[in-house]
Copies of this chain bind each other. A is one copy, B any other.
Amino acid sequence: MAVPARGFYLLGDRVSRMLAQGGSAVLPGVPGADRRVFRGFRSSGVRHDAIIISGTEMARQIQKEIQRGVESWISLGNRRPHLSIILVGDNPASHTYVRKKIRAASAVGICSEIVLKPKDVSQEELLDVTDQLNMDPSVSGILVQLPLPDHVDERTVCNGIAPEKDVDGFHIINIGRLCLDQHSLIPATASAVWEIIKRTGIETFGKNVVVAGRSKNVGMPIAMLLHTDGEHERPGGDATVTIAHRYTPKEQLKIHTQLADVIIVAAGMQNVKMSKSPPKHSGGRVKMATKSLIFLPLKSGLSVLLNPSGFCHCFTGRI
């Protein structure tokens, strides 16, 4: 049975977002600041200091919504969604990520299984696995935990998953659909950034957004979501988006971030100076250019800095 888009959305688009952990977000507290930016989750404000937006709280909220969605889906007579995760080798980080995904799926009522393969598995065998899972009507979503061993071509394996079961949104057709503003399964981190922006009520229409990072799984899809037309099949943010990267000269990045209303730092830690502390600020105003570069406390290398009206929202939860 083909699982319709809504089912996959539950599986793919939101599962990863549920993984938000220990998040905190800071924005300079302004007495009487615009409260519409705090919809549906707890926030605390400190006068002339950062307001903490709880990423954990936002994740819990989304988790509840997905749980309700899954139960509603099943109550309509549909099969319980089932996620198959292909895990290759014994990379400890990969095993940890997969355990968390399994736990997150379970918490919202999604069944899951791990298909474990040794690190010397051949590409052919992996493609046989994806073929079997593609054809299995009891499997509604498939995810291959990356990275794969060097002798396996990740792109080929990602393209081996049926696009409609491609929970990570890495299949070439899902990338194509995303870039054409069509409904698609969207890579999880980009989807999470979109959700944070929407749930915090930050305006992007006609605003300047800097996306620092151009990776195909994070920076590029974020830039796609934010610059595109809000009226299309898959609505975009209608922002003026600047895509910066390792070859953007430091002084130019400073100018671009000063111009920006929203800054999304989607660059790996190795490319940026890192600080575990929230950005310093004075009088509620933030020197965005500096902070966008140093404020990357997450292992995933992603944080979101939002700067409406000259003030700063910093989401620091892992997403």
Contacts and interface: CB of A to CB of B under 8 A. Distances in A.
Interface of A: 155, 172-177, 179-182, 205-206, 208, 214, 216, 220, 223-224, 227-229, 238, 240-245, 247-249, 252-253, 255-256, 259
Interface class of chain A by DSSP: mixed
A245 B227 contact: yes
**Tally of this chain's copies:** 2
B242 A247 contact: no
30 contacts: A155-B180, A155-B182, A172-B176, A173-B173, A174-B176, A175-B176, A176-B176, A176-B179, A180-B216, A181-B216, A206-B248, A206-B249, A206-B252, A208-B252, A214-B227, A227-B243, A227-B245, A238-B245, A238-B247, A240-B242, A240-B243, A240-B245, A240-B248, A241-B242, A241-B243, A242-B242, A242-B243, A252-B259, A255-B259, A256-B259
A233 to B, nearest CB: 10
Contacts of A216: 179-181
A111 B155 CA distance: 35
A253 to B, nearest CB: 8
Contacts of A223: 243
Contact of A180 (B175, B206, B247): B175
A236 to B, nearest CB: 9
A202 to B, nearest CB: 16
Contacts of A243: 223, 227, 240-243
Nearest to A241: B243
A208 B249 CA distance: 10
A181 B248 CA distance: 19
Contact of A177 (B172, B220, B252, B256): B172
A109 B99 CA distance: 59
Contact of A240 (B175, B180, B238, B256): B256
A288 to B, nearest CB: 15
A176 B205 CA distance: 26
A252 to B, nearest CB: 6
Nearest to A220: B179
The 9 A-B residue pairs with the shortest CB-CB distance, nearest first, are A176-B176, A172-B176, A242-B242, A175-B176, A240-B248, A206-B247, A227-B243, A179-B179, A238-B247
Nearest to A170: B180
Nearest to A206: B247
A181 B252 CA distance: 25
Nearest to A177: B172
Nearest to A221: B179
Contacts of A249: 206
A122 to B, nearest CB: 23
A240 B229 contact: no
Contacts of A227: 214, 243, 245
Contact of A175 (B179, B228, B253): B179
A180 B154 CA distance: 13
